[in-house]
Amino acid sequence: MSTTRSSPRTTPRVGPMTAGSRPVPELDIDAMLDDPKQRIIVCCGSGGVGKTTTSAAIALRAAERGRKVVVLTIDPARRLAQSMGIEALDNVPRPVPDVRGTETSGGSLDAMMLDMKRTFDEVVESQASPEKAQQILNNPFYIAVSSSFAGTQEYMAMEKLGQLDKDARASGRWDLIVVDTPPSRSALDFLDAPERLSSFLDGKFMKLLLAPARGPAKLMTAGFGLVTKAVTAIVGGQVLTDMQAFVSAFDTLFGGFRQRAQRTFELLQAPGTAFLVVAAPEPDALREAAYFVERLSAERMPLAGLVVNRASSDPGGPLTAAAAMSGYERLRDETDETSRMTAGLLRLHADRKRIVDREARLRSRFAVAHPDVATVVLPALPSDVHDLDGLRRIGQLLGHAAES
């Protein structure tokens, strides 16, 4: 397995966790956002860890620090639009209102949500003549493939990222793209999407469907006729006709799909791109985070670091969980009100200490396995984030974590 490129924006100070006696590097989010060479940030992680919120907070903070940002979400949840005060997100970047300081800093923030069907349509329209494009778009088999075929969402996410990067470089409209990926391990399926689509369209069955279009009539052998008859019996004659028409029309476009997917893959590996893995301080989430880190390393993708989200706050003080429980045991059967209240507080302190200690052990275990992964730990907020002020607070915590 290759070694993931480490971020230059880390400091080897003792942070929230250590790998043995070796300090874990801390992730400096603000330095990354302020670097004009940083053009793409990809946030990935398992479901339910606050990845969408983290992506939006990073985008908002970058805009308010002077960057021209577009944030793309391919998470099916629509929390991003709600938190940014936009009625709905679609396949077109929409300006986010009430972003502070952009009048003087020159920053801006746009947000959008991937519409994979519309993105697929746009690619077809850009690569084919108007007549052929309309033929493909109206084909029932194309409609099904573009809406539900396994891997289409991830492939179209790569297409949209490539489109945004091309537009940004040509127009100067944006200088930073933040991508919020789907939850769970499917967030890295876009790394496999070009190969998956290639396998589908280069498969034996698809080549068989293309045989009449690619070769002379003699290719229509008895064997092909038998296969066609069998498939017709299974899926129906009209469906087979639609499939053949789609594959024949799409065949001339596929080379362009493959080339653009390869360019986007190379863009993800290039300097100026950074991956952030987002996790919660829970066993399953950190196991998923380890998978992401290892997969990104294997693919030579530039990993900036790990964001541990919603960490429990230490109640403070020298009193350990064991000592607090001991005091609780001594006072819990007392009858006076002061003793009962004190016992309750000691039990609450012990419970919080145990949670904090458990999370620290989990983070330390991750750090031992991945000692070079720069990390930032965010405390849990008392309420859910549902507006720009909440996103701003998350951004402040991310930016100030390296200073604490």
pLDDT of 243 reads: 66
In-domain check, residue 180: yes
- Checking if the pLDDT of 369 tops 90, the result is yes
- Domain count across the chain: 1
Q: How many CA atoms lie within 13 A of 127 on its CB side?
A: 21
Whole-number Å distance between alpha carbons of 264 and 268: 6
Sorted by sequence, the CB contacts under 8 Å of residue 2 that are 6+ apart come out as 297, 298, 300
CA geometry: angle at 272 spanning 267 and 274, to 5°?
85
**Collapsing DSSP states into helix, strand and coil, what is residue 279?**
strand
Q: Give CA torsion, residues 286, 291, 294, 296, to 10 deg.
A: -110
In-domain check, residue 158: yes
In-domain check, residue 127: yes
In-domain check, residue 217: no
Mean pLDDT, the chain, integer: 79
How confident is the model over 232-285, as pLDDT tens digits?
A: 444 444 556 666 666 666 666 666 666 777 788 889 999 999 999 999 999 999
CA geometry: angle at 126 spanning 121 and 128, to 5°?
90
Rounded to the nearest angstrom, the gap between the alpha carbon of residue 155 and the centroid of all alpha carbons in its chain is: 14
Phi, psi angle pair for 67, to nearest 5°: -85, 150
pLDDT of 218 reads: 44
Q: In what order do the strands lie in the sheet with 108-113?
A: 10-11, 26-27, 375-379, 303-311, 273-279, 40-44, 176-180, 68-73, 108-113, 94-95
Whole-number Å distance between alpha carbons of 375 and 356: 17
Q: Summarize the confidence of residues 299-327 as an average pLDDT.
A: 91
- Checking if the pLDDT of 213 tops 50, the result is no
Q: Summarize the confidence of residues 40-63 as an average pLDDT.
A: 92
In-domain check, residue 308: yes
Taking a C-beta distance cutoff of 8 angstroms, is the pair 375, 25 a contact? yes
Tokens 């530039």 map to which residue? 302
Rounded to the nearest angstrom, the gap between the alpha carbon of residue 169 and the centroid of all alpha carbons in its chain is: 22
How many other C-beta atoms are found inside a 10 Å radius of the C-beta of residue 384?
10
Sorted by sequence, the CB contacts under 8 Å of residue 203 that are 6+ apart come out as none
Position 253: which residue type? L
**Collapsing DSSP states into helix, strand and coil, what is residue 372?**
coil
Query: At 185, is the pLDDT very low, low, confident or very high (cuts 50, 70, 90)?
Result: low
* Among the ranges given (51-65, 105-119, 162-176, 283-297), the one the predictor scored with the smallest mean pLDDT: 105-119
CATH number reported for the structural domain that contains residue 387 in this entry: 3.40.50.300
Query: At 8, is the pLDDT very low, low, confident or very high (cuts 50, 70, 90)?
Result: very low
Taking a C-beta distance cutoff of 8 angstroms, is the pair 102, 64 a contact? yes
Question: What is the DSSP-derived secondary structure letter of residue 113?
Answer: E
Taking a C-beta distance cutoff of 8 angstroms, is the pair 81, 117 a contact? no
* Among the ranges given (152-166, 247-261, 273-287, 296-310), the one the predictor scored with the smallest mean pLDDT: 247-261
Phi, psi angle pair for 250, to nearest 5°: -80, -20
Whole-number Å distance between alpha carbons of 64 and 101: 6
Q: How many CA atoms lie within 13 A of 294 on its CB side?
A: 11
pLDDT of 201 reads: 55
CA geometry: angle at 24 spanning 23 and 30, to 5°?
125
In-domain check, residue 227: no
- Checking if the pLDDT of 230 tops 50, the result is no
Q: Model-level pTM?
A: 0.80
Whole-number Å distance between alpha carbons of 352 and 314: 7
Whole-number Å distance between alpha carbons of 221 and 311: 66
pLDDT of 143 reads: 80
pLDDT of 87 reads: 73
pLDDT of 270 reads: 93
Question: Distance between terminal CA atoms of the chain?
Answer: 34
Could you tell me where the DSSP H helices lie in 91-221? Answer: 102-105, 116-127, 130-137, 140-148, 152-171, 193-202, 204-214
- Checking if the pLDDT of 33 tops 90, the result is yes
pLDDT of 93 reads: 93
Percentage, residues of the chain above pLDDT 90 = 37
In-domain check, residue 194: yes
Higher pLDDT pick, 80 / 111: 111
Taking a C-beta distance cutoff of 8 angstroms, is the pair 312, 362 a contact? no
pLDDT of 240 reads: 60
Higher pLDDT pick, 181 / 144: 181
In-domain check, residue 121: yes
pLDDT of 197 reads: 59
Taking a C-beta distance cutoff of 8 angstroms, is the pair 121, 76 a contact? no
Query: At 76, is the pLDDT very low, low, confident or very high (cuts 50, 70, 90)?
Result: low
How confident is the model over 97-150, as pLDDT tens digits?
A: 989 888 888 999 999 988 878 888 888 888 788 888 888 888 887 787 777 665
Q: β-strands 22-23, 18-19: how paired?
A: antiparallel
Could you tell me where the DSSP H helices lie in 236-336? Answer: 237-269, 283-298, 321-331
Query: At 215, is the pLDDT very low, low, confident or very high (cuts 50, 70, 90)?
Result: very low
Whole-number Å distance between alpha carbons of 115 and 127: 19
Range of the domain at 164: 24-200+257-317+374-403
What are the tokens at 52?
């969408």
